[in-house]
Chains A and B, each alone.
Chain A
Amino acid sequence: MKIMVTVKRVVDANIKVRVNADNTDVELANLKMAMNPFDEIAVEEAIRLKERGDADEVVAVSVGSDACQEVLRTALALGADRALLVKTEQQLEPLAVAKTLKAVADNEQPDLIILGKQSIDGDNNQTGQMLAALTDRPQGTFASELKIDGDEARVTREVDGGLQQVGLKLPAIVTTDLRLNEPRYASLPNIMKAKRKPLDTTTPEQLGIDTQPRLTTLKVTTPPEREAGVKVADVAELVSKLKLEAGVI
């Protein structure tokens, strides 16, 4: 079985970003960038499937600027066999990313595509589902457990009410939630080895993808900041404030 796993380069999850001076975007210059945390989980799951003997090849794919080679090298260091960068300087919307990934999937014919459920920059939570529609594959979103059983992927999904189990006929699409696994760290020898693994490059144009944006961002603003309130001395003062001052209990 062949697995395709997608990785996005995003701002580090621990950084609180700020809106830029002309209110057109957030300020990302000189910030630490990293692999999207949900994609780390996707890579880890793909590698575990290979280690378990369910998969024999893991291909990592990223769509973005040249700098995305870093996150692809990370995926290779973690255990992916080869990587593909679809290079574009444009900030693609999820639909365009899904179309690009579909074109890659048409070439690669993976049995399973694993994506992070959302990227922590745009917070869209769309690409996996869109890719599933475009490739006419079943989808197991927000996965907290994944098992391969013959030609079926069994996915436990984290849903608002609890957990749901679905069976997906392969080829299928899975998006990862937080509890699917705990990603490993790349070892130094593997980081060195990753430098020699194949990393190919293509472009949306070469794949014949229309990446025309459908949305226009008119402005980006800072949400109203919450002011820190007061410290109370003890529980009695807290209860009294909640009753008399805030009137919420």
Chain B
Amino acid sequence: MRYETVIGLEVHLQLDTQTKAFCGCANRFGSSPNSQTCPVCLGFPGSLPVLNEKAFLHAIKVALALGCKIQDLIKFDRKNYYYPDLPKNYQISQYDMPLSYDGRIDIKVDGKDKLIRIKRVHMEEDAGKLVHPEGASHSLVDYNRAGTPLLEIVTEPDLSSPEEAYEYLTKLKSILGYLKVSDCDMEKGSLRCDANISIRPAGEKTLGTKVEVKNMNSFKNVRQALEHEEKRQAEAVEDKVKIVQETRLWDPDRGVTVSMRSKEEAQDYRYFPEPDLVPFVVDKRVIEDIRSALPELPEARRARFMDEFALPEYDASVLTADIDTAEYFEESARVSGKAKIVANWIMGDMAAMSNARNIGIRELGLSAGSLASIIKMIDSGAISGKIAKEVLNDAIETKKDPEEIVRLKGLTQISDGGQIETAVAAVLAKNEKSVKDYKDGKKNALTFLVGQVMKETKGKANPALVNEILKKKLGE
């Protein structure tokens, strides 16, 4: 039988604020355990939460960027459950009245556009972290993370494949990056994703039994886990095994999902309105101010890049996926005036280098001016495209000015016919067989000979000139 897959995603996003959601402690990653805490985020008796306005405004910003409606009355609720990393044994969250709802993200999979509805975006606080010292019979708790402002972004079950889930996450991360509200680093846990997935016979209207999948710490993990789960569920149905509503953990090493708890063991969170925080109405003007101050988002920027820089859609999409790349491109394109060439460099060599180093394009440390000067040197014929790659690499490694690198290393392209003729003569003398091959009609011998001349000139010879002179000499 053919099945169709139904997926909904829940993303937890740590907001990048100076202080925590409900107290004045620094919201900082990587400090020594329990150093970023106070009676409030430790849930000490008598302490009370006070909402961090900045975190709330960030939340509104995200909600508006995702096209959500904002709730008229903002209210918080308590989600009650016991766990040692949760200092009060309840989490301040939002239940029946999330601060925003009914948003959307548009994705493109296999060339087709698809709308993914955002069901809700709500605010809550993060928990601490358990630490399990190796070999010890006890566990320790680090509350530094407790009280960090979180957004939960929940989709409707609109995703129909693991690939769509991947694309959705990529797009979401791209938008969040533009908003500069979070570093969206899954490895650090500042962005986390849980998935609900079910299958049903193709064409069937009612939903199948859903399974929640957790513990996926990269977008690739999400895709793999969902691919596995999709297959597992289909096989179960084929084998007439009933799919149970449960939570399963992704085991990245084995590439499988493992049952964690069934619905019967599911918690009753006993939500009720948080009495320590007074419900409040957000001034419509505040919302409109945030809306009008929203930055240009990836899609708008892509359209503008196509229009303003005459870029192909593919290039514009790649360059706008990440805010840093988009800004770097735009700056470099303006400085050099050669948008398409800048795009090629960024998408080619520079992307390769930043990927290899696992850093962002800005962190390569090549200024827009430096990139422009490399492009200018190629354009004027001062260096060859091949040498340019070497200069780019050097400039990134040594942080030196590209023109200075060319000067110091003597990389200026040889466009002097006399010098090239000398090199050609030397090469022809050493490669009689290739000369003969060429004359016998094996035209690819020319490519070899060009290569030899380039080698003789340490890559500095103007390739066009080398070609021309070689052909002339071989024709004699």
Q: Do A and B come from one complex?
A: no
